[in-house]
Structure 1
Amino acid sequence: MNQLVSSGRAAGAKQGLIIQLASSLTIMGSVMIAPMLPKITMEFAAKDPGSVDIIPLIVAAPALAIALFAPIAGVLADVLGRKRMLLIGCLLYALFGALPAVIADLKIIVLSRLLFGCAEAIIMTCCTTLIADYWAPADRMRYINRQVITIGVVGALFFIIGGIAGEGSWRTPFFLYLAPLLIIPSVILWLWEPDRRAEETSVPNRPQQKIASTVAGSYFLIFAGMVTCFVVTVQTPTVLVGLGVTSTSLIGAAAGLAILCTLLGSVAWPFVRERIGVARVNAFLLWFMACGLFVLSLAQSYPVVLVAMVLQGFGAGFLVSNASLPLLMKLPVGLRARGIGGFTSSLYLGQFASPLIVAVIATPFGGIPRGLSTAILIWGCMTAFIGLGWLLVSFSESRHHVQAHHS
């Protein structure tokens, strides 16, 4: 039975669907607009050639805003309430998301995208926190995984929808950001603010040191994991061009294969986690992703790059669910939203930092593209080393469990 932890109200499939759909709004932030960048560049570069340098911010600005604002969103959700902040986030998402469709100034468009990212931070933080608020620990694992799968499926769909909508004008896809207005009535009718005081009295206090180590481990894992994910996402087109593959269809097919494998990894996650535990899954997923980087760095043909996409994508499918699960299980209710806010910030900081980290590593080897393969190989080694650290953590946890059982 899916029983709400903090009150007598029962949360079930209806609440789960609303939260999953609201969560998927965050992936729409970038996937719908990325295919429009060539058209946006053509229009603004014709008027002002210097604008070419800031056009990529239309895609990148929301991720930076999420990374910076998510901790604040978490604090606000803990203080003002999850449902209230979710409604505010949906309204701001629709307002700032659709604004570029009707304004002509490029700098104002970029500003609107930064504010749009703040709205995304609110939505993602509140939705993930509500999963922990509404469901008992045994059910949280299932709903957090459904959230990850829904985001992946919606992202793939809206990558296509955005491209189709933008055939006539690059402004048209921005009107799709009005979608949250359709979700708001469901949020008002079928979601509720959890009674956090009831849960505070029913959940035993945990040592502060244990909570701090859980938070630090989850934050570090999601940051490093997202850096690795975006090495593949951002650098694969450059690798393919270096191999003589310039077809956008072939490059897109490689990205699509990675997304498919990520979804497969998300589906497999509950079964693998149940058998080997969270810490060993961390080692497993990092080693899969590291193998993907090793193959990508050495690839000499398109089929070999596809092998790298399979390895990296499958490992990435475990990442978000496994990294966030300890937070959802162990954070006290009064700190839960701000803890999830920090997690969301670390996730998007990893995305934002990934190309910068690769560029720094590549610099001594001739920069990009000359030193790209070496940089990818070096970061792959670092990813594998972090995976080894998590394996040692799993051995330590197993030893503590055995000692506790005997005592």
Structure 2
Amino acid sequence: MNAPTKLEKKIHTLTHKPLFLVALFASTSMTVLGNVVIAPSLPALNEHFAHIPHADVLVPLILTLPSLFVMFFSPIAGIAIDTFGKLRFLLPSMVIWSVSGVLGFWLDDIYYILISRAVFGIATAFVMTSASVLVASYYTGSERQKMLGVQGFATAGGSAVFLSLAGYLSALSWRYPFLVYFLGFVFFILASIYLFEPKTPKHTLHESHSNEPFRIWAFIPVYFMGFFVMVTYFVSPTRLPFFITQYLHESPKIVGISMAISAVAFGIIALFYERIRIYLSIKQVYMVALAAMGSAFLLFFAFHTYWVVLVGLILLGCGGGLILVNNNSYLFNIAKPHQRGKAMGIMSSFMFFGQFASPLITQPFIRTYGLLELFLGLSVVIFALLGAVSLRKI
């Protein structure tokens, strides 16, 4: 094993400074703002634009349209950053992300808002892909596992904070949550001061200039898992609010708190990912996470009390957090250094496609069989996937 060079020691020192970590993980957590900030404003937006033809279709698009553009542009972003570098795209994208996000505060035409959301989605694709690949480029081995866990914690923590902030602001006006995107300018300043373009170590330099083609088939299981976990995890924000209010007859006021508890569980388990990997292999982490998610939906189906639902939400958050961090770790392990951007870009595309497809997949099932039957069906499918993973060599 080669001893670290002076340059590598200097990079190690730089990448462990507190303000550097704040800049890095603020950049990676920006993308959670996309849907979280606008979601509480949807009822007020629907009322404000009620006079517009097809407002019932157009208003929800304010929430989902960025996901579609992330899905289409993430692979392009991955190819671009592999070719030209990460910061060259990250910093301008952060500015565009902030400007297009905050524009909704001033716009009063729903079609202009939708155009701004489309631009916002394109910027999100570049921010998400660049920032995630930077984490993989700055750190290696167990250190990378630790930082991927911190990234998951920062993302979930940001989600919980922004969900609470957006809920408060949306009570004042549907316009005010758009102002939260001003935080992007703060994150941009931090990133421009503290982040740097990582250099490839000499002992892997020959890999970076390799002409070895990108073989997508090697990544299909990882991409499928990213898509699958998003389809199932997003049942929580899209279906459980109806379960809590209509089936359990609880107050709508506790829905936000319930979702936040799941996000906190997601973040905490991600933070402990490095320690979990000491005892469990990548395959075993997948199995434990799937068992947690399958058990959560089984609890939703079998026990109709709010406290059991909270336990299920904690299990769902833990399972989802483990799978996403484990997935990124596995992806960066099997991807060549010069292919990480492309590999992560396609991963982002699959994950956002899962978010977008989740209600489209689950709604026909609910219409035909019912919400409780959906929970049972998801549990069966998840445990079947658990069995398949147990038989596969990873």
Q: TM-score, normalised by structure 2?
A: 0.90
Superposed displacement of residue 176, structure 1: 2.0
> Which moved further from structure 2: 218-227 or 194-203?
194-203
Distance 1:378 1:244, change over 3 A: closer
SS at match of 1:247: coil
> Which moved further from structure 2: 371-380 or 217-226?
371-380
- Give the one of 137, 155, 161 matched to 2:159: 155
Give distance in 1, aligned partners of 2:272 and 2:211.
32
Name the residue aligned to 2:42: 37
Give distance in 1, aligned partners of 2:358 and 2:6.
38
1:197-256 CA deviation, whole Å, 9 max, x = no partner?
846426599997996555222111111111110122211112223315252212223212
1:266-322 CA deviation, whole Å, 9 max, x = no partner?
233222222121111101101110111111123323233223212212211212110
1:107-166 CA deviation, whole Å, 9 max, x = no partner?
111121121011111111001101121122231111111111011111111111122233
Give distance in 2, aligned partners of 1:364 and 1:4.
64
SS at match of 1:300: coil
Amino acid in the other structure paired with 1:218: V
Amino acid in the other structure paired with 1:372: L
Q: Is the 8 A contact 1:218 1:327 kept in 2?
A: yes
- Give the one of 8, 24, 30 matched to 1:25: 30
Identity of aligned pairs, percent? 25
**What residue ranges of structure 2 are gaps of 5+ in the alignment?**
none
Pair 1:278-2:277 in alignment:
no
Name the residue aligned to 1:98: 102
- Give the one of 344, 348, 359 matched to 2:352: 348
Matches within 5 A, 1:113-124: 113-124=117-128
SS at match of 1:318: helix
Q: Is the 8 A contact 1:34 1:59 kept in 2?
A: yes
Name the residue aligned to 2:384: 385
Name the residue aligned to 1:266: 270
Give distance in 1, aligned partners of 2:91 and 2:211.
34
Give distance in 2, aligned partners of 1:105 and 1:187.
33
Amino acid in the other structure paired with 1:147: Q
> Which moved further from structure 2: 233-242 or 338-347?
233-242
Amino acid in the other structure paired with 1:186: L
Give distance in 2, aligned partners of 1:134 and 1:205.
19
Give distance in 2, aligned partners of 1:217 and 1:70.
18
Distance 1:63 1:7, change over 3 A: farther
**What residue ranges of structure 1 are gaps of 5+ in the alignment?**
366-370, 398-407
Give distance in 2, aligned partners of 1:86 and 1:289.
33
SS at match of 1:192: coil
Name the residue aligned to 1:324: 328
Q: Is the 8 A contact 1:231 1:376 kept in 2?
A: no
Give distance in 1, aligned partners of 2:213 and 2:380.
30
Name the residue aligned to 2:205: 201
Amino acid in the other structure paired with 1:376: F
> Which moved further from structure 2: 347-356 or 194-203?
194-203
Superposed displacement of residue 55, structure 1: 0.6
Give distance in 2, aligned partners of 1:208 and 1:279.
27
Name the residue aligned to 1:373: 372
Give distance in 2, aligned partners of 1:252 and 1:5.
47
- Give the one of 158, 164, 171 matched to 1:167: 171
> Which moved further from structure 2: 164-173 or 195-204?
195-204
Q: Is the 8 A contact 1:7 1:195 kept in 2?
A: no
SS at match of 1:126: helix
Q: Is the 8 A contact 1:225 1:286 kept in 2?
A: no
Pair 1:304-2:304 in alignment:
no
Distance 1:169 1:184, change over 3 A: same
- Give the one of 137, 140, 147 matched to 1:143: 147
Superposed displacement of residue 376, structure 1: 2.4
Amino acid in the other structure paired with 2:310: L
Name the residue aligned to 1:80: 84
Q: Is the 8 A contact 1:224 1:350 kept in 2?
A: yes
Give distance in 2, aligned partners of 1:188 and 1:207.
32
Amino acid in the other structure paired with 1:254: S
Q: Is the 8 A contact 2:248 2:305 kept in 1?
A: no
Name the residue aligned to 1:405: none
Give distance in 2, aligned partners of 1:230 and 1:2.
43
1:25-46 CA deviation, whole Å, 9 max, x = no partner?
111112121111122122111x
Q: Is the 8 A contact 2:208 2:337 kept in 1?
A: no
Distance 1:241 1:162, change over 3 A: closer
Q: Is the 8 A contact 1:89 1:123 kept in 2?
A: yes
Aligned length: 389
Give distance in 2, aligned partners of 1:379 and 1:253.
24
Amino acid in the other structure paired with 1:18: A
Name the residue aligned to 1:252: 256
Amino acid in the other structure paired with 1:336: R
Name the residue aligned to 1:400: none
Name the residue aligned to 1:404: none
Superposed displacement of residue 97, structure 1: 0.5
Give distance in 2, aligned partners of 1:384 and 1:124.
30
Distance 1:245 1:16, change over 3 A: same
Distance 1:305 1:200, change over 3 A: same
